[in-house]
């Protein structure tokens, strides 16, 4: 199955007939979203083959993040470029796996940013992974593409979403007017709408963080997590459950599906870096989805989507999900 010949007819119909804040979705944005959906349909099939087609393991190369690239990181990156580069509405794209943005021959002004394969450490152990994408609009459509065109705050996103390759292949999407979810029918190759108006409960009893980093966290995070661990025997009026999948896309999908809080905060292992996760193609798209679903997303001091980026691959401390818990964390960071 390849992206070009198996277009997602049902998803296309959804885009053609939906309204965003009462307005039709611009045709150029529809075209780009359909190309992403088609590519992720192909990627879903590739991911499901794994070892059968030699997809597992390292590619033996490194990326701008200083990470060892997995074969699937590169395959996903190449498939996405191939899948969208013919979009007339696209001006350029940027990826976790490429140091610089790529100009495409499109005459449009959309900018696509993506984490082609999130959760790479889970590829070889058959745990859910995914693709995260964010769409911006070039502010000056006439000038030649440059990196600075991408350095817009998360508030400028016109669309964001992810496709999680798990037991189901499910897409979450926001265009700024709520969150919808589609599951891929693998018999027909169609993304089918399964949820609209996704909402995150403000209260939760579930937190997600990599506990092995506890001794490295800043005090407000340690205080928050220690209180969650203590539950009713401590400051909180409930006991908490913990999850950590180590694929942001899967952890955030759980938060969107049943509430919760996801944290990858700054820690002192690399004190000069604000965090591990990347602002432009991980934190911003996920924050857009979470805010549109009634949740909140902060770096402790500011809402993530308010941050003004200065580098395409800059990192950020991330705490997102159920609003009551995020507000508590913000209070702890403000020391009130
Ligand atoms: P990526 O695979 O795109 O590099 O991102 C991995 C990220 C994110 O998906 C996940 O939440 C986090 O790394 C897990 O980090 P740890 O392995 O340190 O827990
Ligand atoms: Mn990576
Ligand atoms: Mn990632
Ligand atoms: Mn990645």
Per-residue pLDDT for the chain (336 aa), expressed as one digit of tens each? 444 445 899 999 999 999 999 999 999 999 999 999 999 999 999 999 999 988 899 999 999 988 999 999 999 999 999 999 999 999 999 999 999 999 998 779 999 999 999 999 999 999 999 999 999 999 998 889 999 999 999 999 999 999 999 999 999 999 999 999 999 999 999 999 999 999 999 999 999 999 999 999 999 999 999 999 999 999 999 999 999 999 999 999 999 999 999 999 999 999 999 999 999 999 999 999 999 999 999 999 999 999 999 999 999 999 999 999 999 999 999 986
Beta carbon of 211 within 6 Å of any ligand 1 atom:
no
User: Is 0.95 exceeded by the ipTM?
Assistant: yes
Task: Give residue 281 CA to ligand 4 midpoint distance, Å.
Answer: 9
In a mutational test of the pocket of ligand 1, which residue from 264, 278, 280, 281 has the highest number of ligand atoms less than 8 Å from its CB? 264
Residues with CB under 5 A from ligand 3 (ion): 115, 118, 282
Task: Give residue 73 CA to ligand 2 midpoint distance, Å.
Answer: 7
Task: Give residue 12 CA to ligand 1 midpoint distance, Å.
Answer: 31
Q: Is the dihedral of CA 165, 170, 175, 176 positive or negative?
A: negative
pLDDT of residue 142: 85
Beta carbon of 114 within 6 Å of any ligand 1 atom:
no
DSSP-assigned states of every residue in 106-130: --S-EEEEEEEEE-GGGGGGT--EE
pLDDT of residue 328: 98
d(CA 78, CA 300) in angstroms, rounded, equals 35
Binding residue positions for Mg(2+): 96, 115, 117-118, 282
* Closest C-alpha residue for ligand 1 atom 15: 246
Task: Give residue 117 CA to ligand 1 midpoint distance, Å.
Answer: 10
In a mutational test of the pocket of ligand 1, which residue from 61, 246, 275 has the highest number of ligand atoms less than 8 Å from its CB? 246
Beta carbon of 97 within 6 Å of any ligand 1 atom:
no
pLDDT of residue 243: 98
Question: Measured from the CA of 96, which atom of ligand 1 is nearest?
Answer: 3
* Closest C-alpha residue for ligand 1 atom 17: 246
Longest dimension (CA), the chain: 61
pLDDT of residue 106: 74
pLDDT of residue 336: 67
pLDDT of residue 3: 44
Residue with tokens 């979403």: 161
Evaluate if pTM is beyond 0.80: yes
Residue with tokens 């809402």: 303
pLDDT of residue 146: 94
Domains of the chain in start order, with CATH, are 3-195 (3.30.540.10), 206-334 (3.40.190.80)
Phi, psi of 195 (to 5 degrees): -150, 140
Tokens of 234: 């401590």
Of the listed ligands, the closest to the CA of 247 is 1
């Amino acid at each position: 199955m390849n992206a070009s010949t198996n277009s997602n007819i049902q998803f296309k119909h959804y885009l053609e007939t939906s309204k965003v804040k009462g307005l039709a979705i611009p045709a150029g944005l529809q075209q780009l979203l359909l190309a992403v959906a088609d590519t992720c349909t192909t990627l879903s099939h590739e991911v499901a083959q794994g070892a059968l087609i030699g997809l597992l393991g390292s590619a033996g190369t490194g990326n701008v993040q200083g990470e060892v690239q997995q074969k699937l990181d590169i395959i996903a990156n190449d498939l996405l470029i191939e899948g969208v580069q013919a979009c007339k509405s696209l001006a350029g794209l940027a990826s976790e796996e490429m140091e610089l943005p790529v100009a495409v021959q499109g005459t449009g002004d959309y900018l696509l940013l993506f984490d082609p394969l999130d959760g790479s450490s889970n590829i070889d152990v058959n745990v859910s992974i995914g693709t995260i994408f964010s769409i911006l609009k070039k502010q000056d459509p006439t000038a030649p593409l440059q990196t600075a065109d991408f350095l817009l705050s998360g508030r400028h996103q016109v669309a964001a979403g992810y496709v999680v390759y798990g037991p189901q292949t499910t897409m979450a999407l926001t265009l700024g007017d709520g969150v919808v979810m589609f599951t891929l029918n693998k018999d027909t190759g169609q993304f089918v709408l399964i949820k609209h108006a996704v909402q995150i409960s403000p209260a939760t009893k579930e937190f997600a963080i990599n506990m092995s980093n506890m001794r490295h966290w800043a005090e407000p995070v340690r205080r928050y997590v220690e209180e969650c661990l203590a539950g009713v025997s401590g400051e909180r009026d409930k006991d908490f459950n913990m999850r950590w999948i180590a694929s942001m896309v899967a952890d955030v999908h759980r938060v969107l599906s049943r509430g919760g809080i996801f944290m990858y905060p700054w820690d002192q292992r690399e004190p000069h870096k604000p965090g591990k996760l990347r602002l432009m193609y991980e934190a911003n798209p996920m924050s857009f989805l979470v805010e549109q679903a009634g949740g909140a997303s902060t770096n402790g001091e500011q809402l993530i989507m308010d941050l003004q980026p200065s580098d395409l691959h800059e990192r950020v401390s991330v705490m997102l999900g159920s609003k009551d818990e995020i507000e508590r964390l913000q209070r702890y960071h403000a020391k009130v």
